[in-house]
Amino acid sequence: MSGKWFIKIWADSDYFDFWHINHFLAGMLCGGVIIFLRLDFWVGLSLSTLAMLGWEVYEIFKGIQETSFNKFADVILGIVGYFLFYLIKPTSETYSHMFVSALLVSWAALELWGFLAWKNGASGL
């Protein structure tokens, strides 16, 4: 693997890795979508948790190697992100759209960075 930090930072570790940030942001985005769709908090939490668990299943089928702790942390951090969005949910609709847009751009940028790191040889991705 290349010694470049911007590639190595994405390598999976046993406990915590840079991918956890994306799982957290994805949970926050789920909270934003649920509020936008005006769904009940608990329905949204259930749907978001199912989506997070579904993603972990997808990773297993794609052959992504992670420890059980790492998979568990991915889901828990997504759920924490969902709760945090509800705690700090923006009060105005304009601010809410800006906040969710900023989350989406951040999440997408990190996903692209992680994908490019994987394409450039970061092991364990």
Q: What pLDDT is recorded for position 2?
A: 47
More confidently predicted of 89 and 2:
89
What's the rounded Cα separation, in Å, for the pair 87 and 70?
A: 25
**How many residues are there in the chain?**
125
- State the chain's mean pLDDT as an integer: 83
Side chain identity, residue 12:
D
The most confident of the ranges 12-21, 29-38, 47-56, 63-72 is: 47-56
Q: Supply angle C-alpha 119, 122, 124, rounded to 5.
A: 110
**CA distances, 39 to each of 1, 5, 43, 48, 87 (Å):** 45, 41, 7, 12, 16
What's the rounded Cα separation, in Å, for the pair 93 and 84?
A: 18
Residues 82, 30 contacting (CB under 8 angstroms):
yes
- Residue 90 backbone phi and psi in degrees, to 5: -60, 145
82-88: average pLDDT = 90
Q: What pLDDT is recorded for position 63?
A: 84
Total-model pTM: 0.80
CA 39 to chain CA mean position, Å:
21
Q: What pLDDT is recorded for position 43?
A: 96
| Helix 41-61, helix 68-88: angle, nearest 10 | 150
More confidently predicted of 42 and 113:
42
pLDDT-above-70 percentage for the chain = 79
The most confident of the ranges 2-11, 43-52, 107-116 is: 43-52
